[in-house]
Amino acid sequence: MSVAALGMGLSGLASTAGVDLGLSDGEPDSPHSNTPLLIPMSESHVPDPFIIAKSRQLNKRVSLNVGGVRHEVMWKMLETIPRSRLGRLAMQATTHEKILDLCDAYSLVDNEYFFDRHPRSFNSVLNFYRTGIECFQNS
């Protein structure tokens, strides 16, 4: 169930918890919610680990934006390979710093994580997570 489906956006959850998500005073960078992306330079708006954990609890799915191409997957699928970058993102990235060690930027409001990588081969990566079988596309 998404945050919006519960009738309380992540912004409302954050304000209830007294946490500033940094959703104002900035250039809107996210193409989906027009909110600033959380990147290393925006340290003044670091979300609390409680907000990060709540976001994961409320969203069974996550958007992975690889080179501008969005892929929506289940967090549970990413947990199947716990020592991979995506597995660590799903299971161990509970703070702003840990998340940014694994991806280039993220938006908790959009539940989207950004990777500055070439998008072409990422479908093969996701197929490996789904099937456990290596099958890389020739290009």
69 inside domain: yes
Task: For 64-74, write each residue's pLDDT tens digit.
Answer: 999 999 999 99
Tokens representing residue 82 in the block? 């716990």
pTM, full prediction = 0.71
Band of the pLDDT at 47, cuts 50, 70, 90? very high
Residue 112 in domain: yes
Position 91 in a domain: yes
Domain containing residue 10 = 4-131
Question: Nearest Cα to 123, choosing from 132, 108, 135?
Answer: 135
Contact 39, 95 (CB under 8 A): no
Calculate the average pLDDT of the chain: 79
**How many domains does one find in the chain?**
1
